[in-house]
Chains A and B, each alone.
Chain A
Amino acid sequence: MALTRRQFLTLMGGSAGAAVLFQACGLPEKELLIDSPPSMPEDLVSGIDNWYATTSQQAGRSEGIVVRVMEGRAKKVEGNPDYPLNLGGHSALSEAALQGLYHPDRISSPLVRTGPRGSGEYREISWEDAIGRLSSQLNELETANESNRAVFVTNPQGGHLGLVLNRFVDAVGARHLAYEVLENNILRNALEEVFGSDSIPEFDIDNADFILSFGADFLSTWISPTRYARGYGEFRQGHEHRGKLIHVDSRFSLTAANADQWVHVNPGTEGLLAMSIMQVLSSSHPDPVFQSLDSEGILDSYSPSNVAGEIGVSEETIKRIAEEFSHSKHPIALGGGSAGAHTNGSQNLKAIYSLNRVVSNVGEKGGIILNPKSPIDDIGAAEPANNFSEFHTLAEEMKSGNVSVLMVRDADIYYGMTDTADMKAALNNVPLIVSFGGINDDITSIADLILPQHHFLEDWGTDVPVAGPGYQMIGFQQPVVRPFFEHRGRNLGTKGFADILMTTAQVMGKDLGLEGQTFQEVIKNGAKKLYELNRGQVVSNTFEGFWNGVLQRGGWWDVEAKESAVPDVRSLRGVDSPEFGGGSQQEFYIQPFVSTLGDGHYSSLPWLQAMPDPISTATWQTWVEINHKVAEEKGLSEGDVLEIRPANGRVIKALAMPNPAVPPDILGIPIGQGHRDGGRYSAGRGANIMSVLDLKMDSELNSLAWAATKANITISGEWMRVPKFENTVPEFPRDEHHSIIEITSGEHH
C-alpha cells in the first residue's frame, strides 16, 4: 500500500519537476488482445493523464484533492491520500468543483451594467477599464476623506489570500466584513472560552470509544465532514471495541440516523442537558469547571429532576448518558449546528464543550486535540465572520446612504440575510456594487461592475485550516489547469482574486508591502519561510526542491508540531431557556438544515442539485420534513405545497415530505434554494428558508439564532411531484433471513 501511494504521488506534481510517465513505444500489449473480454466495452487507447495535488477550501472546509488532467482539461477529483485531514476520501462538494470550473454560465470577462439594476444587461469591458473604474471610485472617496464609505464583504479568508485582502482594505481605507450565512462565530467563541483558542480543535473520533454529539451534523455537513467520516469508519470498525455514538438533536439528521441512539430534545435545550449531565457528575468528578458553579449553587438547579421535563427526556436517560460518558475510556462531547443557533446558543455550546473538561480528555488520545498556531507569523487561519447584527447595522447604513461602494466576493448577503433585516432594499441604496463573482450568484446578479475571479482550480492559494489536524499544517493550492477563458486574451477572461486586488492597489499607487509582484510570487516567497523552518514532511536541500515537494504533496505539515499547553478553564455560567420568534399560536419550530447545497453557495452545481438528500432522497427542490402522523391528521401528502408562515408575516412555499422520524412539532427545511440567479441550474427553483426567519439573536454574541423561529403552515391546494430518488427502482425486498442489519446485544464485539 505504501509503495502504491508513492507511485501515485509521483504523478501528482505540479511543475516542471513532475514525473510524467510515457508509454513504451507502440501499443501496450494488452491493447492488442482483442479477445480480452473486459476491454471490449471500453476498447479505447486512452491518452496520458496526470494527477495534480491542490487544496479545496470550498465551504470553509479544508480538503486535499488530486485532480486528473488530460489534454489540459480537468476530468476527475479525488482525495489526496496524504493530506492530513481527509487522507484520500473526498466530498461530493470537491467532486462537483469540476462543474464550477466548466459551468456553462461562468462569467468570461469583466462586465459593466448597461440596463437597470438586476436586468442582467451588461457590456464586456477590458480588465484595464474595469480596474480603472474601481480604483477611480476608491480614489475619489479617499480624496473626499470618505474611504470608510467603501465596504468590502468577503467570506472568512485565511492563508495568503487573507493577507493580501487585509493589506488591500487597510491600504484603501475600506471597511472589511467577513460573512457566513450560518456563522461559526458562536462555536468559535465558545471554544475560545472553554479551551482558550478559537480555532476548532481536532476531534480524535478515530480513537474515541464514545461520542456524545449535540446538534452538530458532523457526518454530513458540519465543519469538516470528510475528516469526521474518516474517523467514524475507524470508530465503528477500526478497533477491537466498536465505538458508541449518542446524538442529541431536535431533528433527525444524518448523524442522528447513524447514531446508536438518537436522543430527541426540545429545540434549544441541548445546553440544559449538558448542564444536567454535569450536575449528575459533579459529586464523582470534582473538577474546576464545577467550582464556580457549585459555590454559587447554580449547578443544582440543573438536576435531572429540575430540567428533564423542559428538555423532553426522562431523568433516567440523563443519568444513563452521564454514566456512559464518564465511564468510557475515550469520550468526546461536541456540539454545534442548531444547538448553537438559538437565543441561548453560546451558553449551550459552552456547556456542551465543558463536558470535555469534566472527563479531562483535552490533549488525550481519542479526545480533543487543540490546534497550534500557524507556523508562519503573518499567515493564519480565517478569523471568525462578523456577527449578523453587524450586517444588520450595515443594512441600516446603506439605507441612510452611508455606503458608497460595496465590494463583494463569495459572500452573498443578498441571498443569505433574512428579509426581516431588509438587506435587499438596503442594497438598492448603494450607488456602486462591485462583485468579484465568477458566476452570477444573487449579489453578483445585481452588481454594477463585475470583475470575475478565477475558479480555485485555476488559481494559487494557501490554506491554514480553521479545523486543523492537531498539528501545524498549510495546504497549498495550485492551478491544475490553465484558465478556461485564457483564449479570450489578456484583457478579457478571468483573473485570480488576489491578483485583481494587487493590480488595483498598484493602479492606485498603494504599496501593499507584499513580497512579490504576483500572487504566485507572494506564495512562493511565503513558502521560503516554511523552508527555513527546516522541519516538516517535505525535506530538501534546495528551496526549489522543497517548493516542488510541497506542491506535489498538496501542502506542508509537521506532525510533531503540536499544541502542548492546555489552558485554564474559564468560568462557565448557567444556561438559560431558549426564546423563540412566535409563540404558542405557532404550531411548529422551523429547523433549517444544510443538505447538499451548502449554505446555498453551491446551488449552481448540477451534481449537488441531483445528489439525493440522504434522509429524504429529495433533489432539486425545497421540501419540508413533517411528521407522517401530523401530516395524516392534516390530510397532507407528499408533494402538497405548504405555505410556511412565521409570525413576522413573511411566507415561503415548499413541498410536504412526511417521514416517520420527524418530531411532531418540527418542520425540517433545507437551506440552499430560492435563488434569484446562480445560473441555469439554480435560478428560481425552490424557496429560501433563511429569508423568512425572525430577527432573533444569540443573547451573548448577536449572531442570528437561525433555529429560533416558529411558524404555522397552511395548505395552498397546489401539488407538485417531489423530485426524489426513492421509488426510482422498485423497492428492494428485504430478505428476512439475510437482513442487512444484525441486531446484537451490547456485549457482541
Chain B
Amino acid sequence: MADSNKWGMVVDIDRCTGCQGCVVACQAENNIPINLEEHFNQRRAIQWIRIERYWEGEYPNVKARFIPIMCQHCGNAPCEPVCPVYATYHNDEGMNVQVYNRCIGTRFCANGCPYHIRFFNFWEPEWPESLKNQLNPDVTVRSRGIMEKCSFCVQRIQRSTREAERDGVDLEDGDRGLNPACVNACATNSIIFGNFNDPNSEVSIIKEKEMKEGGRGYGLLENLGTDPNVIYLKKVDESVEVGHGH
C-alpha cells in the first residue's frame, strides 16, 4: 500500500450494458432525493452517476452506445477555482470534495464543470416518514440551495480507513467496504475503484496496460486539460454489416 492515496476509477465501456443498476445503487447509498415525475419534466432530476445513451445510425443499421458518467475528480478541476467560498476543493487523496455547509448556491461550479455532473437542489428534499428509515446515516441530506455530486462514496472510504486503522491492517485493494456503491452493484464488473498511488492496485495495473499506445484507455475530454481521475476503456466494435433483406 502506498503512503498516500490517490483514489480513482476505471470504467470499461466494453463490459457495460447500460443497465442502470449503478444509478439506482448510488441513489440508495447517497440519500439522493426521490426523482419524481415532475422533477424529470423540469429536467431537474438528480443522478450522481448517469448513463448517457448515444444513437449511431438508424434502423436497420443502428447502434446504441452507453457510457456511465460521474464526477471525474479532476486533478485540475475547472469547478474548483470558481467557487467564491471554497465549498469545492481538491483534497490530498485525489478527490474533488463538496463541502455542503459551505456552499451558498452560486452554481458557478456547475457552469464550470465540462462533464455536467453537478446537480443543484432546487427544492428541499422530501421523503414520506417511513422511507426515511432507509436513509444512510453516514451521508448528509442536502437541503435546498446546495450543490451536490458524486463523492466517490467518501463515507465508505472514511469508514473503511477508520476500521482498518482500528484493526491495525492495511486497506485492501478491492475491499467491498471501500468500493463506491456503483462498483459493488455492477454485475458486469465494468467499474473498478482503487488507489492510483499503489502500483499493485487493479486500477494502476489497468492504467499501466491500457493507457499505452494501442491500449483501450482514455480520459473523457482529456484535451481540455482537466486531468481526470477516471480512466475509460473504449468499447470494441467488430463492425459488421447488419443483416436485413428488406
Contacts and interface: CB of A to CB of B under 8 A. Distances in A.
Interface residues of B, number: 116
B116 A732 contact: yes
Contact of B240 (A8, A29, A237, A260): A260
23 contacts: A41-B99, A42-B155, A70-B137, A78-B185, A88-B184, A98-B28, A102-B132, A104-B130, A219-B19, A229-B17, A230-B187, A308-B245, A607-B28, A608-B24, A610-B36, A661-B62, A662-B59, A723-B41, A726-B53, A732-B116, A735-B221, A740-B65, A748-B236
A323 to B, nearest CB: 13
B74 interface: no
B162 to A, nearest CB: 4
B245 A309 contact: yes
B115 to A, nearest CB: 7
B185 A607 contact: no
A701 interface: no
Contacts of A725: 40, 45, 47, 50
Contacts of B209: none
Given A261-B240, A744-B238, A748-B236, A41 B130 contact: no
Interface in B211-246: 216, 218-223, 232-240, 242-246
Contacts of B97: 37-38, 40-41
A89 interface: yes
A748 B236 CA distance: 9
A255 B59 CA distance: 16
A612 interface: yes
B189 A46 contact: no
Closest 6 CB pairs of A and B: A89-B187, A317-B243, A233-B188, A37-B91, A723-B40, A104-B128
Interface in B125-139: 128-139
Given A737-B223, A743-B237, 6 more contacts: A4-B176, A226-B21, A257-B18, A724-B40, A728-B43, A728-B47
A311 B243 CA distance: 11
B244 A264 contact: yes
For B91, B135, B223, which residue has the most chain A Cβ atoms within 10 angstroms?
B91
Contacts, number: 348
Contact of A614 (B62, B66, B129, B155): B66
Q: Which size bracket describes the interface of A in this complex?
A: 35 or more
Contacts of B233: 237
Contacts of B161: 30
Nearest to B114: A733
A86 B185 contact: no
A23 B236 contact: no
Contact of B91 (A38, A99, A617): A38
B51 interface: yes
A611 B92 CA distance: 34
Interface of A: 1, 3-5, 8, 21, 23-24, 28-31, 37-42, 44, 46-47, 70-71, 73-79, 81, 86, 88-92, 95-96, 98-99, 101-104, 106, 219-220, 225-227, 229-230, 232-233, 236-237, 242, 244, 252, 254, 257-258, 260-264, 308-309, 311-317, 320-321, 484, 596, 606-608, 610-612, 614-615, 617, 619-621, 627-629, 659-664, 680, 685, 721, 723-730, 732-735, 737-746, 748
B140 interface: yes
B188 A741 contact: no
A733 B95 CA distance: 24
A374 B173 CA distance: 37
Interface in B12-66: 12-15, 17-21, 23-25, 27-29, 34-38, 40-41, 43-45, 47, 50-60, 62-66
